[in-house]
Structure 1
């Protein structure tokens, strides 16, 4: 007897339809799984056998053939366990009726005792089932929070194989999951700007970076607050829209990363160690998974000790910084993941860290300093809109200074500036992502500003990219002031954030 169920295989952040065909025929008991299954799918045989037996069902002692069609595409993921097991029960007559006629989609990994374990990529699989016209879907209970925001399809949560069989047979229907809105937790970021004492220029640069989505590089001696500043950026960024929160949740679902709450409105903040490989940062593997730059989508990627990162890793960031996406190419396939992140980096000015310190002498030679600074290439430096020097905090400000301005006040100005940008260029578009055409249209300085720019180009030997990035920063400064026109003072302030001693 033949049973056929619908399933899907993950491909990047999307899913492709797969037919699970289970056939029982006469002959010596055997199990053949065909259709280019990966290791996790091949190992499902033993999980399904034990799960059926321990749930009180009879494992059919027949010649079993399981086909995952189309047969020319690789299939990966443990979510095939549940449809294969239900197909075996249907083909052996232990489950009456055809599951395909019920319009129900099934995903889930089976434990040996019949429990349903959570699966990677539950959110893209549910979205695929909805787009394919399925009326309902059964997912593991522990994937419930992840998929609760999806509308247009009835979602049932199950914790065991017995519950799924009872639901499909009509004996004990499962309760439908209530659709929930994305949690409004944008103000729950634990780090506040009020903790920063002094560092007025760095605070201002961080506010500009947040308002315009600009990339920021902070250079300074150890212990001056560079990492502390970077960790407070998500608290002043605009909250994610529901669409952005859904995209970020899809990325974390596919990556099987549970470090972030599903559908959170807080922008992601990723801080990989400087020993991370290029695959960890960009993404990849035999089955390509999202890397740190994709997990920081619509959020912040913070690279502390920038010069300590591998040169090859840093160079791979150049194209995603421009394109907002990364293409992971392998011999068998090529996948594109979003990477619209904001790069914040921090580094010391020299190996010992005290070059230019007012009291502590630098112990490095000129050759050591040049070698250290050259670890960060010119093309990568050119992609930072803001490059500032962070000096040591004044003793009086540190000991007797009052707390800094809180994040909620800074965020209000950032939101007002972002609102101006959205009205100008469309929802979700910020100054840091302006095209050259938009720069010429929306960031045209006045006559005094043009004169100042001409002098800056001659003095600093600015590239065309640096020139456009300078105008983008000036446009953001004007937006923070609520000015429609770009004036010379905005250009002058933008020039202050071009640290040319690197």
Structure 2
């Protein structure tokens, strides 16, 4: 009898759990048996890895092989178990205790092709974070996952292209390349705000939204620049911090979108307006995957043609907008996805798209109810509502301000906000994420500005949440202006940017 152990991970949402793989070679009829609550992809791998070992010129046991995945009560999904099971079987055939000990303290990840090639897998970064948490010293991954793995500085990560290379390293006959730690490559060039001609009000609203992380709704006729402004918003945001890069890349990793490298800039996610609730929030059978709100973590979620999205789908955004997370409850598990995103909505004023009511060919009732899918509670969570216009646009953009100076002002405003909240001992770094109770109590606007807000609240023009969001907006305007405290002008601007008149004019 020969017994060996290796390590790998089981993925649950965007988190990974360490799994111990055991292989026992003992007497009995030849065959490979996998136990430990494995899914079909893992169960089918017994023939795949046996063929790969033989095609690589290595020896597969000619007796009974039992592979156990522990803990047995945890469901295991995916093909990344291939390499760990293969190395476990190969190590169990060695008479050298050092080989088995080396395998036991190493975590293996990778799918194995029939010729022994290692295929890149999803979820590498969550697995590396789990290995670091459990203080596992060494991880072996496919070479195709090297760019993503370079985002973390521990544990030591080795890359290989075939199981033959891994077996030679395990037996001490060769060395594997070390991924090492290196700065991520530069992100692709972002679209420039210079391309957006006219729309001075919407451009300013986008700058304020970027400075404070505020949600925004743009309402205007087709071709007025709503999508262009939304696409250029990530270019106004500062590069992600190291922690944000890891968090955003971990989400994208589990859906296989990081083979070209980690996420270093604010992601921009723009799903089609026919998306389902599962596509928006995440879900799926077996192992649920993150949805659009989580893929936009630390970035921008753009929902174009928002008027065409069912109200039941849009209203599911209300909890993530408040909590910054999505919790999926299943019969035997609870999965949580991160979802701190900036929501940008765009819509035409009516089905025909006419900017002026007198030019509209829709019925009065149709125009009045066109945006009814945007419920009151959801509208109340949208900080900025602004119109774009087709009339008065210009043909040339030579004098239009590009993204670079706007991004500099946004970065300076965010630095002021981060310094202020850090001095106050708050965890938030941008104005939109500050606890409203602390904001009203410890960081109000000037006395006359707060009295001005109180008038709107007393009239019922805005809700208490609206007051909180207007106050956050006024702080963003103050940071852009470089003042120490929001004044009456900033609060008045914030009330205007809240744009209740926009929704009334749309009707």
Structure 2 length-normalised TM: 0.93
Matched, 1:338 2:338: yes
Aligned CA distance change for structure 1 residues 261 and 435 (closer, same or farther; 3 Å): farther
Aligned CA distance change for structure 1 residues 207 and 393 (closer, same or farther; 3 Å): farther
Q: What pairs up with 1:74-473 in 2 under 5 angstroms?
A: 74-93=75-94, 97-101=98-102, 103-185=105-187, 188-258=188-258, 261-286=260-285, 287-356=287-356, 361-395=359-393, 398-400=394-396, 402-426=398-422, 429-441=429-441, 443-459=443-459, 461-473=461-473
Q: 2:279 is paired with a residue of what secondary structure?
A: helix
Instruction: Give the total of aligned pairs.
Output: 495
Compute the displacement of 1:197 (Å): 1.2
Compute the displacement of 1:388 (Å): 1.1
Q: 1:495 is paired with a residue of what secondary structure?
A: helix
Matched, 1:482 2:487: no
More displaced stretch, 471-480 vs 125-134? 125-134
What whole-Å deviation, never above 9, does each CA across 1:299-318 have from its counterpart, x for those lacking one?
00000000111222111110
Structure 2 residues without counterparts, runs of 5 or longer: none
In the alignment, the residues of structure 1 paired with residue 381 and residue 111 of structure 2 have an alpha-carbon distance, to the nearest angstrom, of: 44
In the alignment, the residues of structure 1 paired with residue 349 and residue 198 of structure 2 have an alpha-carbon distance, to the nearest angstrom, of: 20
Aligned CA distance change for structure 1 residues 48 and 221 (closer, same or farther; 3 Å): same
Contact 2:8–2:81 under 8 Å retained in 1: yes
More displaced stretch, 123-132 vs 314-323? 123-132
Compute the displacement of 1:98 (Å): 3.3
In the alignment, the residues of structure 1 paired with residue 151 and residue 198 of structure 2 have an alpha-carbon distance, to the nearest angstrom, of: 42
Contact 1:48–1:110 under 8 Å retained in 2: yes
Structure 1 length-normalised TM: 0.94
Contact 2:6–2:106 under 8 Å retained in 1: no
* Residue equivalent to 2:54: 53
More displaced stretch, 9-18 vs 198-207? 9-18
Q: 2:404 is paired with a residue of what secondary structure?
A: helix
More displaced stretch, 475-484 vs 57-66? 57-66
Q: 1:37 is paired with a residue of what secondary structure?
A: coil
Compute the displacement of 1:122 (Å): 0.9
Compute the displacement of 1:393 (Å): 4.5
In the alignment, the residues of structure 1 paired with residue 442 and residue 205 of structure 2 have an alpha-carbon distance, to the nearest angstrom, of: 21
What whole-Å deviation, never above 9, does each CA across 1:196-233 have from its counterpart, x for those lacking one?
11111101100000000000000111110000111110
In the alignment, the residues of structure 2 paired with residue 201 and residue 46 of structure 1 have an alpha-carbon distance, to the nearest angstrom, of: 63
Compute the displacement of 1:137 (Å): 1.5
Compute the displacement of 1:424 (Å): 1.1
Cα RMSD for the two superposed structures: 1.9
More displaced stretch, 200-209 vs 78-87? 78-87
Contact 1:31–1:63 under 8 Å retained in 2: yes
In the alignment, the residues of structure 2 paired with residue 257 and residue 450 of structure 1 have an alpha-carbon distance, to the nearest angstrom, of: 46
* Residue equivalent to 1:31: 32
More displaced stretch, 247-256 vs 449-458? 449-458
Q: 1:98 is paired with a residue of what secondary structure?
A: helix
Compute the displacement of 1:92 (Å): 3.2
What whole-Å deviation, never above 9, does each CA across 1:2-27 have from its counterpart, x for those lacking one?
22222221122222121111112222
Compute the displacement of 1:34 (Å): 0.9
